[in-house]
């Protein structure tokens, strides 16, 4: 049984402002770093992990580095397949700006966005490689909300018809004999009762 703990990165200024990030390289803000520290403290008190793999985008990379430092865990590598969905022309815009520029039906336009299917396909391939390369290990994967959600919907469509992932949430996937299970979804109990400076 291989266990994968999928973590959404900490919060960024663009998250707070409702700006589409996609593949833009946006860093964590102060709150995002504090969230990552809170998660790292929770993980340190729970079961051991063997290694970390992360998206190479700064917000995921920094989250992974904070966790790795606390757990004294190596970051095996940064995998571009774990990047957030490429948003094409919508990156750097808010919903109001998109409606003003392209109209309420902007989602139906060809604005250079990566398809949901393509995101799920590359992310699933990355997870399958983890199962193949680290059998029986416990691997933390730090990635992005859209990608994690689309991957869950692809791997476990009956369990996940829709998804919404919170910043620094952890979702547990287990793989045994090519069958996936998700015993924990979008858990943020490490943030309960904490007040973060904005």
> Which residues does residue 54 pair with via DSSP β-bridges, in sequence order?
78, 142
Residue 195 has pLDDT above 80, yes or no: no
Helix (H, G, I), strand (E, B) or coil at 47: coil
DSSP-derived pairing of the beta strands 2-8 and 170-176: antiparallel
Residue 198 has pLDDT above 60, yes or no: no
Q: How far apart are CA 35 and CA 70, in angstroms?
A: 13
Q: Say if residues 183 and 156 touch (Cβ distance below 8 Å).
A: no
Q: Which residues are catalytic?
A: 9, 84
Structure tokens at 82: 């774990």
User: Which tens digit of pLDDT belongs to each residue from 44-91?
Assistant: 999 899 999 999 999 999 999 999 999 999 899 999 999 999 999 999
Structure tokens at 164: 């919404």
Q: Say if residues 23 and 193 touch (Cβ distance below 8 Å).
A: no
Residues in the chain: 198
Structure tokens at 119: 């995101």
User: Which tens digit of pLDDT belongs to each residue from 122-172?
Assistant: 999 999 999 999 999 999 999 999 999 999 999 999 999 999 999 999 999
């Amino acid at each position: 049984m291989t266990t994968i703990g999928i973590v959404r990165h900490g919060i960024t200024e663009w998250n707070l402002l409702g700006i589409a990030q996609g593949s833009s390289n946006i860093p964590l803000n102060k709150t995002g770093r504090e969230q990552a520290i809170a998660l790292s403290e929770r993980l340190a008190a729970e079961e051991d992990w063997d290694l970390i793999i992360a998206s190479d985008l700064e917000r995921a990379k920094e989250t992974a580095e904070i966790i790795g430092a606390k757990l004294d865990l190596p970051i095996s590598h940064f995998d571009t397949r774990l990047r957030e969905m490429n948003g094409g022309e919508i990156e750097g815009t808010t919903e109001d700006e998109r409606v003003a520029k392209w109209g309420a039906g902007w989602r139906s336009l060809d604005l250079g966005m990566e398809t949901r299917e393509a995101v799920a396909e590359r992310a699933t391939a990355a997870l399958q490689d983890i199962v193949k390369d680290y059998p029986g290990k416990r691997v933390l994967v730090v990635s992005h909300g859209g990608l994690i959600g689309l991957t869950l919907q692809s791997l476990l469509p009956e369990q996940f018809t829709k998804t919404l992932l919170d910043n620094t949430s952890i979702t547990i996937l287990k793989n045994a004999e090519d069958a996936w299970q998700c015993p924990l979804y979008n858990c943020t109990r490490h943030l309960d009762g904490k007040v973060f400076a904005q």
